[in-house]
Amino acid sequence: MEEKKRRLGTSAFVLVLGGFICKCLGALFRLPLTNLLGFEGIGVFQLIMSLYSFCLVLTCGGVTASLSKLISSARARQNYAKISTYLRRATLVCLLSGFAIGIVFFFAGKYIASFQGISSSSGYLLFVALLPLGAMLAVFRGFFQGYENMYPTAISQILEQVAKFGFGLLFASYFGKNGISSGVFGAFLGIVLSEVVALLFLIGVFLFKKGNLPKMQNLREIKFVSREFDKVNFMLLLSASILPLVNAFDGLVIVPRLVNAGFSSGLATKLFGLQSGIAGAFLNFPLIISVAVATAFLPNISYLISKGAKGKYLMEKGIRVLLLLVLPTTFGLVAISKQVLPIVYTDLSGKMLEVVFELMLFGAFSIIFTALMQYFVMLLQANGDFRFIVIITSIGGILKGLATIILAGISSVNVFAIVLGNILMSAFVCVCALVKLKSKFGLQFRFVELFLILFGTAVMAVTVYTFIQKNYFTVVVNIILGVILGVFVYIVFSAPVFYSIIKKKSGVFKTKRS
């Protein structure tokens, strides 16, 4: 058991570290890309990217989690022959769906771009390669995660980001000489090559380590196991597709709705670029933690449930770690954003800077609810509550879509409609999921420690924001000292919670060991 706990901690650390490096590389990619394409160009890039993310989910949205859950369960029952069947079925489903959806966009891309209010459709031509490659990355990452081996996932993600940074900027710069549309095409061409690099790495690791998997011989058993995969994957696909679907919906309707509210098409695209390409990208760093925690805990909790144990203590520990890390990280980023963003984006100043700061301030609440939503949904997945996940995420997605399309038409709300819709959706899903988990596992809040985390976060954010407003030193030195001061303040106020986790005592939740 102690070995399993150490492996879990290592897995989470590897994913957090890998995710942090990837986010840094992703930010480094978007910075010069924004300078190459301009705010309008990055808006076009994000509009296409939102649809790519949704199509990738349609192709393989449930595959990584499905393989992780099913393989860990097969290992728990020592039924290793199932694993190769799961893998072959996942490969077939992902490749076929990826090529099919890619061909649709190859021929219909210009009509979709026209509806979005943008002139560039060349990026959609590359979906026919992007989707199958991205799908196969998801397959191999899910395979290794089912064995609780997070190193291939982390390394492949870093390789992908490094290659995207190099190839994406190279081609965006080269093709961008012919205009925004060509520059966007070049950026997506670089992403294609980055996926090729990452996939070659994963295939090499697979052939080296897991090339001799036992195979099932009975055709009836193979069909049964394939249907088992299809059932789990379909339910996970439905639940995983909701958020990218509503984000794709935002990308389709936001510019036309802002135009209806009185904004020009160019300004509307710039506003979307500020929200998704700058504020959203900057605030996505804390989600590294939630994704890492959820990914690392899923196979372990699925393994325990398959063994007949509920894994309650593990679930509670995960949420405590999540709150301790995500809350200060999110609001700490908001506190330093006014000083950091002008350094990073040299053209960002004045009114545009104020807009981005306000987007980040509101967006911080969205990030907190999204992180909790990801973790709660993972717990429901581990317990097999797929239908419930689909229901609550579907209702939440409808609420977000309605909020976006209604509020974006109000000129005083404009692009903030996306942020408000995100908060509405994630908060709804969190409440529903928590009620369900509480009834199944008896989780009970211990509000004293929750208050310490919230109060420590608030004091930290105010301290950092106030300190870096003063011109004691240069801007960069002020930011560094402000962050160090903020970390110290937060640790002081949240020390009892850190102590309870280190000593393995119950914390934010009252724990009855199961």
Of the listed ranges 37-51, 445-459, 479-493, the least confidently predicted one is 37-51
Model pLDDT for residues 80-94, shown as the tens digit of each residue: 778 888 888 888 888
Highest average pLDDT, of 108-117, 284-293, 320-329, 500-509, comes from 320-329
Name the nearest CA neighbour of 288 among 14, 94, 500: 14
Query: What ranges do the domains of the chain cover?
Result: 2-444
Of 2 and 390, the structure prediction assigns the larger pLDDT to 390
pLDDT at 120: 66
pLDDT bracket for residue 214 (50, 70, 90): low
pLDDT bracket for residue 303 (50, 70, 90): low
Average pLDDT value over all residues in the chain? 80
Of 468 and 61, the structure prediction assigns the larger pLDDT to 468
Is it the case that residue 19 has pLDDT exceeding 70? no
Are the C-beta atoms of 18 and 158 separated by less than 8 Å? yes
Is it the case that residue 273 has pLDDT exceeding 70? yes
The residue-averaged pLDDT of 429-454 equals 82
Distance from C-alpha of 284 to C-alpha of 318, rounded to nearest angstrom: 19
Q: What is the DSSP string of 426-478?
A: HHHHHHHHHHHHHHHH--EE-HHHHHHHHHHHHHHHHHHHHHHHS-SS-HHHH
Is it the case that residue 2 has pLDDT exceeding 60? no
Q: What is the DSSP string of 183-223?
A: HHHHHHHHHHHHHHHHHHHHHHHHHHHSTT------HHHHH
Q: How would you class 217 by CB atoms within 10 Å of its CB: exposed for 0-12, middle for 13-18, buried for 19 or more?
A: exposed
Model pLDDT for residues 347-394, shown as the tens digit of each residue: 777 788 888 888 888 889 988 998 889 888 888 877 778 788 888 988
Are the C-beta atoms of 489 and 332 separated by less than 8 Å? no
pLDDT bracket for residue 154 (50, 70, 90): confident
Tokens of 305: 């449930």
Please state whether beta strands 444-445 and 509-510 pair in parallel, antiparallel, or not at all (unpaired).
antiparallel
pLDDT at 193: 94
Are the C-beta atoms of 216 and 225 separated by less than 8 Å? yes
Name the nearest CA neighbour of 373 among 454, 302, 293: 293
Model pLDDT for residues 447-471, shown as the tens digit of each residue: 787 888 899 999 999 999 999 888 7
CA angle 55, 61, 65 (to 5 degrees): 170
Measured CA distances, 51 to 48, 130, 179, 224, 443 (Å): 5, 12, 22, 34, 37
pLDDT at 305: 62
Is it the case that residue 21 has pLDDT exceeding 80? no
